[in-house]
Amino acid sequence: MSQKTVHVVSHTHWDREWYMPFELHRRRLVRLIDDLLDLLHADSEFRHFHLDGQMIPLHDYLEIRPHQRERVQAAVAAGRLSVGPWYVLQDEFLISGEANVRDLLYGLKAAREFGEPLRVGYLADAFGHVSQMPQILRGFGIDNAVFGRGVNNWNPALPAVTPEAERGYKSEFTWRAPDGSAVLSVFMANWYSNGMEMPTQPDACRDWMTQRLAACERFATTPQLLLMNGCDHTPTQKDLTQALVVARELFPEIEFRHSSLGEYVEAAAAAAGELQTVEGELRNQFTDGWGTLTNVLSSRLYLKQANWRCQTELEKWAEPFSALAWLLGAKYDHDLIDYCWRLLLQNHPHDSICGCSCDEVHREMEVRFQKSETLARQLSREAMERLAEHVDTSACPDGAKPVLVFNPLAIRRTEMVVCSADFAEDAAVPDVEVFDGQGNLVEACLEHDHGVQWGYHLPDDRFRETYQRRRICAGIPMELPPLGYATYFIRPRESRPFALPDSDAMANEFLSVELAADGTLNVRELTSGFTFRGLNQLQDSRDAGDEYNYRAPEEDVTWNIRLEKQSQFATPLYQTWELHGSMSDQGALGVRCFVTLGRDSRRVDVRTEIDNRKGNHRLRALFPTDVEADYATIDGQFDLVRRPIRPWHGWTNPSNCQPQQAFVDVSDESKGLTLANLGLPEYEVLRDGRNTLALTLLRAVGEIGDWGEFPTPDAQCQSEYVTEYSIIPHAGPFEQSPAQQDAYCFNWAPDTIPAEVHPGDLPPSGSLLTLTPDTLVLSALKKCEHRDSIIVRFYNPRATSAAAVLSVPWVIAEAHQTNLDERRLDQLAVHEHSVTLDVAPKQIVTLELVPERG
What DSSP designation does 48 have?
-
Whole-number pLDDT of residue 499: 67
H, E, C per residue of 246-272: HHHHHCCCCEEEECCHHHHHHHHHHHC
How high is the pLDDT of residue 339? 99
Sheet holding 521-525, edge to edge: 505-507, 511-515, 521-525, 530-535
Edge-first strand listing for the sheet containing 172-176? 121-123, 144-147, 182-187, 172-176, 276-279
Q: Is 689 exposed, middle or buried (0-12, 13-18, 19+ CB in 10 A)?
A: exposed
| Mean pLDDT computed over 688-715 | 96
As annotated, the active-site residues are 125
CATH number assigned to the domain covering 401-497: 2.60.40.2210
Distance CA 58, CA 71 (A): 12
- Please state the rounded mean pLDDT for residues 5-34: 98
User: With contact defined as beta carbons under 8 Å apart, do 488 and 437 qualify?
Assistant: yes
Superfamily of domain 5-288: Glycoside hydrolase 38, N terminal domain (3.20.110.10)
Question: Tell me: the pLDDT tens digits for 591-617?
Answer: 999 999 999 999 999 999 999 999 999
Pick from 117-121, 286-290, 308-312, 698-702: least confident: 286-290
- Residue 164: the pLDDT is 84
- Rounded to whole angstroms, the Cα distance separating 667 from 669 reads 7
Question: Closest by alpha carbon to 62, among 21, 17, 30, 15?
Answer: 30
Does 501 score more than 80 pLDDT? no
Type of residue found at 25: H
Could you give the dihedral angle defined by the CA atoms of residues 76, 78, 81 and 86, in that order, rounded to the nearest 10 degrees? 40
Mean local confidence (pLDDT), 510-535: 97
Q: Which of these, 289, 300, 315, 302, lies nearest to 351 by C-alpha position?
A: 300
Q: What is the pLDDT of residue 419?
A: 97
pLDDT in tens, 354-409: 999 999 999 999 999 999 999 999 999 999 999 999 999 999 999 999 999 999 99
Is the confidence at residue 627, as pLDDT, over 70?
yes
N-term to C-term CA, the chain:
66
615 contact partners, CB below 8 Å, separation of at least 6: 586, 587, 700, 701, 702, 716, 718
DSSP code string of 369-381: HHHHHHHHHHHHH
CATH entry 2.70.98.30 includes domain 505-747 = yes
Measured over the CA atoms of residue 93, residue 88, residue 848 and residue 841, the dihedral's sign is: negative
- CA torsion 793→798→800→802, rounded to 10°? -30
Mean pLDDT of 561-582: 95
Residue 143: band (very low, low, confident or very high) from pLDDT cuts 50, 70, 90? very high
* Residue 585 confidence (pLDDT): 83
Report whether 171 contacts 1 (CB < 8 A). no
Q: Is the dihedral of CA 747, 768, 640, 670 positive or negative?
A: positive
CB atoms closer than 10 angstroms to residue 157: 7
Q: How far is CA 745 from the centre of its chain?
A: 17
Which of 155, 220, 156, 215 shows the shortest CA–CA distance to 190? 215
pLDDT tens for 470-489 read 999 999 999 999 999 999 99
Please tell me the number of Cα atoms within 13 Å of 18 on its side-chain side. Answer: 16
Give every CB contact of residue 187 below 8 A, 6+ residues apart in sequence: 147, 148, 150, 151, 169, 170, 171, 172, 173, 219
Element holding 208 (H helix, E strand): helix 202-219
Q: What are residue 413's DSSP bridge partners?
A: 480
Using alpha carbons only, give the angle 537, 542, 547 rounded to the nearest 5 degrees.
105
Q: Is the pLDDT of residue 291 over 90?
A: no
Task: Give the whole-angstrom CA distance, residue 463 versus residue 498.
Answer: 46
Q: How confident is the model at residue 586 (pLDDT cuts 50, 70, 90)?
A: confident
604 with 523: CB under 8 angstroms?
yes
Handedness of CA 303, 305, 310, 314 (dihedral sign): positive
pLDDT score for 225: 99
Distances (CA, A) of 757 to 283, 393, 396, 760: 55, 5, 7, 10
> How many other β-carbons are positioned within 10 Å of the β-carbon of residue 501?
11
Bridge partners (DSSP) of residue 539 are: 560, 620
Specify whether domain 769-854 bears CATH 2.60.40.2220. Answer: yes
pLDDT in tens, 787-820: 999 999 999 999 999 999 999 999 999 999 999 9
Indicate the average pLDDT of the chain.
96
> Is the pLDDT at 55 greater than 60, yes or no?
yes
Cα distances from 228 to residues 168, 225, 267, in angstroms, run: 22, 10, 16
> Assign residue 832 a region: left if phi > 0, alpha if psi is -120 to 50, beta otherwise?
left
In this prediction, residue 854 carries a pLDDT of 64
Q: Is 788 exposed, middle or buried (0-12, 13-18, 19+ CB in 10 A)?
A: exposed
**CA dist., res. 257 & res. 6, Å (int):** 6
Respond yes or no on whether the N-terminal peptide bond of residue 235 is cis (omega within 30° of 0). no
Which 3 state secondary structure label does DSSP give 591? strand
Would you say residue 500 has pLDDT above 70? no
- What pLDDT does residue 1 have? 53
Pairing of strands 441-442, 484-493: unpaired
Rounded Cα gap, residues 561 and 583, in angstroms: 7
DSSP conformation letters of 109-175: HHHHTTSSPP--EEETT-SSB-TTHHHHHHTTT--EEEESSSSPBP-TTS-TTS-HHHH-B-SEEEE
Whether the predicted pLDDT of 337 surpasses 70: yes
What is the distance between the alpha carbons of residues 108 and 85, in angstroms, rounded to a whole number?
5
pLDDT over 70 percentage in the chain: 99
Check pLDDT > 90 for residue 557.
no
Give the chain's length: 854
From 484, 7, 403, 73, select the one nearest 240 (Cα to Cα): 7
Provide the whole-model pTM: 0.97
Query: Fold match between 401-497 and 769-854?
Result: yes
**Which sequence spans correspond to the domains of the chain?**
5-288, 401-497, 505-747, 769-854
What's the pLDDT score for residue 429? 87
376: closest CA among 305, 320, 302, 328? 320
**Is residue 690 predicted with pLDDT exceeding 70?**
yes
Q: pLDDT band for position 176 (50/70/90)?
A: very high
Distance in angstroms (rounded) separating the CA atoms of residues 168 and 150: 11
